[in-house]
Every structure is written in structure tokens, then in C-alpha cells.
Amino acid sequence: MTIFFLRRAFYGLLVLAGVITVVFLLFNVLPGDPARMMLGQRADQASIDAINRDLGLDKPLSAQYIMYINDLMPLSLHEMQNENHYLYLDPAKYDYIKLFNISKSKVMVLKYPYLRRSYQSKRKVSEIIIETLPETAVLAFASIILAAFLGIIGGIITAIYKNTWVDHLSLFLASLGMSGPSFYIGVIISWVFGYMLSEYTGLNAIGSLYTIDDYGDGEYLDLKNLILPAVALGIRPLAVVIQLMRNSLLEVLSSDYIRTANAKGLRFRTVIFKHALKNALNPVVTALSGMFASLLAGALFVEIIFSWKGVGWELYNALVKYDLPVVMGGVLITSTAFVVINVLVDISYAILDPRVRIR
């Protein structure tokens, strides 16, 4: 089990390394001059050179790459004395603890990954992400819980009432939910429940997790703003999960060991919930986790519609303004989330199904 875990984690790291490289190369081939973007049209050559030096853009690509990786690593090697060296330990950039000196000028430090600064707001990208990621995570988590909970229950019910009107109705609704894109459904939901019916529902058409209070001197947690975006985001996964759960359960129910369980004289309830469910959940867990990861990344449309201040919202704004460090940071964070979640899923597999543990 430990070896299983370690191997999965190791593969996860390999994938991450690949992602970092691709992100780095991708944004290096994109056109645009960061210094010009930061300073505007009328900047003088000296300030542009200063910025280029600061960002390492005057160095060859390989040095930039090493610098980028070194920036991302929690454990990294830095130059202490030479301020012009591309690995110079700049207190303005890094938040670090010094570990030990390697040579006179080289030092090993433990630090937060440094994701550069926004070209626009000059804030650290990591700060922006730390601020927005929880909002997206809460939204994605709420939708996935909604989809999982209702989806699994709905799937079980439709499987039990196979080929009755309940089954047909849920199939119809599910295909409806699956075919509606989130930016369309989001707008409809926001308009109907947040605007037209807001007198009855008491919900807002737009809004974030935290709302600035009426006096403008503080923020408070506004959980009711979560409802509409979570539903808008969760409808698609819900539709998928219902169908998946139904089919998976039906397949399990026709298997030999369910016949054995019936031959033991077990109650219908026990057969369904003990013997069938655990086996049927496997594909559903995969789908859910994949969805969760993609929701983290793909909440973008829903976040824009509801003005939800999450990573997607930030990413959208950064893209519009060509704010490359923020885009790179956002992409990196979402792909990291993807990889981590997938490793966790593999492990949850091993817990659900003992046969997986062999390899």
C-alpha cells in the first residue's frame, strides 16, 4: 500500500514537471513585451532594461527556464552577493528561511513557490491566487457535493425503478442537463432565480462568497450567494452522475455475486446498499473526481456570469489584459490541483476496491 502510494505520488510529480515545462515554453513563444506592457508606451529604454533584467528576460531561454523552476521549487539554490546574477536571492521576491550555505555566495533556502508579480497590479501572483483559490474551491466543492449526493441517490432510484416512468423522466432531465452549456444555464438560472423570482427566493443575480457590507467598512460571509452558481455549475456533473450511477448499478446487479448475495437470503436493502453500491461506486468516483478537477479549472464561465471572485474570474481578467504571470500562475495551480486530485482518487480506489492494491 505504501509503495503503491509512493509510486502514484512519483508519477504525479513527473506529470507536474511536464506541465511546468509546457507552461513555460508556451508563454515564451507568445508575442508581447512585458516591460512595455508594465510601463506603457512612453517608457524610456533604461527602465525597460531594468525590468527586463529583473524578470530575467535578457538571459538565454535555458537560464530563464532554470530560474523559473528555481522560483517554483520550495527548496531552492540562490546567489547571495551578486545582485545581477539571475538566481539572486531578492528579499522582495521571496519569502524564505535560510537553510545552509553551500559555498561563500550560494545558499540553500526553503521558501514559498514564487509565481512572479502581476504586470498590472504589481501584486505577487501567489497572493492573488491565495485570495481567489478558496472561492473557486468552495464553489467547485459545493457543486460536486451537490452532484454526488443527488446524483448517487437519483442513480440508485432510477436503477431500482428501471423502465418505469421514474426512469424515463430522469433520463429525459439528465439529457436536458447534459446538453445545456454552463454559460447558458448559468445565465438562465441567474436571471430566473436571482432576478425574476428574487422576491421569493431572496437570492442575488450576482455576488461572491464575501460581500462588502452596506456601510463599506468590512466583509461578511454571504453563503446564500453560493446557491445559484453551485447549481449552475453542478447540473452537468449531476446529469452525468445519475446516468453513470444507474448504469453501473444495473451492471453490478446483474453480476454473479449479487445472485450469490440473493441466494443467501439477504434483504433487498442489504443487497443494494452493502453488496452492490460499493462495487458500483468505482466508475462514479472516477468521474466525480475528474469533474471536480475540471470544475476547479472550468468554473470560469459561471464565475464571470455571477461575478464570483475566483481563479476563473481572475484568469479571465488577466487574459483580457495580457497579464502573463497571472495566467501562468492560474494555469499552473489548476493543473496542480488536477494532478493532486487524481493521485488522491487512485488512492481512494485502492480503498474502495482491494483488487487495485496489487499493482
Which lies closer to another protein via its Cβ, residue 216 or residue 354? 354
Check residue 7 for interaction with another protein (CB under 8 A): yes
- Of 6, 63, 102, 221, the residue at the interface with another protein (CB under 8 A) is 6
Q: Which of residues 329-358 bind another protein (CB under 8 A)?
A: 352-355, 358
CB 119 within 8 A of CB 35: no
Q: Which of residues 277-296 bind another protein (CB under 8 A)?
A: 278-279
The CA distance from 220 to 210, in Å, is: 5
Check residue 3 for interaction with another protein (CB under 8 A): yes
Check residue 10 for interaction with another protein (CB under 8 A): yes
List the beta strands (DSSP E) in 80-123. 96-101, 106-111
> Residue 260 Cβ, how far from another protein at the closest point, in Å?
5
Q: Which of residues 235-254 bind another protein (CB under 8 A)?
A: 254
Task: Name every residue whose Cβ is closer than 8 Å to that of residue 195 and which is 6 or more positions away in sequence.
Answer: 205
Span from 6-14, 103-111, 130-138, 285-293 in contact with another protein (CB under 8 A): 6-14
The CA distance from 102 to 71, in Å, is: 18
> Residue 175 Cβ, how far from another protein at the closest point, in Å?
24
Check residue 168 for interaction with another protein (CB under 8 A): no
Which lies closer to another protein via its Cβ, residue 3 or residue 97? 3
Task: Name every residue whose Cβ is closer than 8 Å to that of residue 251 and which is 6 or more positions away in sequence.
Answer: 280
Strands 75-79 and 96-101: unpaired
Helix 277-298 / helix 125-160 crossing angle, nearest 10 deg: 150
Check residue 1 for interaction with another protein (CB under 8 A): no
Hey, what amino acid is at 175? S
Q: Which of residues 252-271 bind another protein (CB under 8 A)?
A: 254-257, 259-267
Which lies closer to another protein via its Cβ, residue 75 or residue 351? 351
The CA distance from 3 to 223, in Å, is: 42
Helix (H) or strand (E) holding 301: helix 300-305
Which lies closer to another protein via its Cβ, residue 167 or residue 222? 167
The CA distance from 185 to 337, in Å, is: 26
How far CA 16 is from CA of 68, 72, 313, 337, in Å, comes to 14, 11, 24, 10
Check residue 166 for interaction with another protein (CB under 8 A): no
> Residue 343 Cβ, how far from another protein at the closest point, in Å?
15
Q: Which residues bind another protein (CB under 8 A)?
A: 3, 6-7, 10, 254-257, 259-267, 275, 278-279, 352-355, 358-359
